[in-house]
Amino acid sequence: MDFSLEEEHEMIRDSAREYAERVLKPASTEWDRAEALSDEGLAAAAEAGFMGLTTPEENGGTGFGNLHSCLMLEEINRWDAGMGVTLSVHNSLVCSLVARHGSEDQKGRWLPRLACGELLGAYCLTEPQAGSDAASIRCRAEKSDGGWTLKGTKSWVTSGDRAGLYVVYAVTDPDAKPGYGIGAFLVPASAEGVRAGKKEEKLGIRSSTTTEVLLENVFVPETDVIGDPCEGFKIALDALDGGRLGIASQALGIHRACLEDSLSYAKEREQFGKPIAEFQAIAWKLADMATSLDASRLLVHRAAWLRDQGEICTKECSMAKLAASRACNEAAQDAVQIHGGAGYTTEFRVEKYFRDARITEIYEGATDIQRLVISRKLLR
C-alpha cells in the first residue's frame, strides 16, 4: 500500500499553493468584506488551469482527476473558502457533469469555454421548498416545439449572478414516481427569461455570491438536454458525489488554516511566563486538530481515488464529507478558543475560518443526510 503522491499530483498541489499565497492570501479579507471575488482573482485561477482541471484535454482542459482536484481545492480553501466553493461547483457540478453525461456535441460546445474561464458554471438544483429533499423540486419543464420551456425559481445558487452557464433541474413528468420525471438542462445565462434574483447575505464564504435564479418561460433546445429528460435525478446524484468531495476538500483547507494559525499563535502568545503552547490544555487541542486533519484527508483521498478508478463510491464520498466537515468545525471552534479574546476580533483570521467552516456541514448534503446515505448503504 503506497500513500505517496505521484509527481503530477504534487505539481498541481504546489501550483495551487503558489496561486493561493500570491493571489488569495493578500485579498481574502477584502473580498470577504466586499462580499465578492475580484475578476482578476478568477482570471488568475483560469490562467493557472484550475477552471478546467478535470475537463478532458480534447475539450480544452487539463484532463486531471478527482484526487488532483481535491489537492487543488485544499490549497485554495486554505486562504479563501469563497473562491474554493466557486471552483468546486464549476469543476465538479458543471464541467465534470457535462464531461461524464453530456453528448459529444454538448462537450464540444460548452466545455472549452468553461475550461478556459470564458464561462463560469453554476448548479441549479435546490428550490425554496426543496433542500435536502431534492426530488421534490417544482420547477417545470414543458415540452415545446424543438425543445422544452422552463418555469420556476432556484435558490442557493453559487455564482448565480456571474455564471455564464447553468445546469438546471426541472420536472418533465409530474406523474412519474419519486426520483424520476426530472430532466437536466444546460441553460446559458444569456437565454431569454433567465435572471439572477435575490442575493443572500451570509455568515461565511462571503466572497462567493449566492443568489436565486429565476426562470420565466426559458426555451431550451433538445440539443441542451443532458441524457434522458426523465432521468436527470440520477445525473444529479452522481454529480453530488463529486460535489461532496469538493466540499470535503474545502473542509480540509479551512481545518488546516485553523491548525497552522493556532500553532503559530500558541508559540508566540505567553501567559504565566511561558508560551501557551506549553500548557497541556492547548497542546492537546493542537494534537487533536492535527490528528483529525490527517484522518479526514485520508478519507477524502481514498474516495477521490475510488472515483478516479470508475468505482461506485457514494458511501465513501459521504463518509469523507461527513468526517471532514465535522472535524473542520471542531478545529475552527478550538482555533478561536486558543486565540482567546483575540480570536473573537477581526484582527486574526480565525474568526473568518469559524464563519466559513459552518457551511461545510450544510451544503452538498447536510451532516444528517450524509449519515442517512451511509447508513442506507450499510443496511442494503
- Do residues 325 and 360 make contact, with C-beta atoms less than 8 angstroms apart? yes
Residue 36 confidence (pLDDT):
96
Polymer length of the chain: 380
Residue 30 confidence (pLDDT):
97
Separation of alpha carbons 118 and 55, rounded Å:
14
Which member of 212, 231, 351, 364 is catalytic? 364
What pairing do the DSSP bridges indicate for beta strands 121-124 and 165-171?
Answer: parallel
CA 122 to chain CA mean position, Å: 11
Can you name the CATH fold of 234-379? Butyryl-CoA Dehydrogenase, subunit A; domain 3 (1.20.140)
Q: Would you kindly state where each structural domain of the chain is located, as residue ranges?
A: 7-120, 122-230, 234-379
Residue 335 confidence (pLDDT):
98
pLDDT tens sequence across 95-154: 999 999 999 999 999 999 999 999 999 999 999 999 999 999 999 999 999 999 999 999
Report the chain's terminal Cα–Cα distance, integer Å.
29
CATH of 7-120, one of 1.10.645.10, 3.30.360.10, 1.10.540.10, 1.10.10.10: 1.10.540.10
Residue 119 confidence (pLDDT):
98
Residue 1 confidence (pLDDT):
78
| pTM tops 0.95, yes or no | yes
Arch. (CATH architecture) of 122-230: Beta Barrel (2.40)
6 assigned to active site = no
Separation of alpha carbons 331 and 60, rounded Å:
38
Q: What average pLDDT values come out for the chain (380 residues) when binned by 10 residues?
A: 91 98 97 96 97 97 97 98 98 98 98 98 96 94 97 98 98 93 98 97 98 98 98 96 98 98 98 97 98 98 97 97 98 98 97 98 97 96
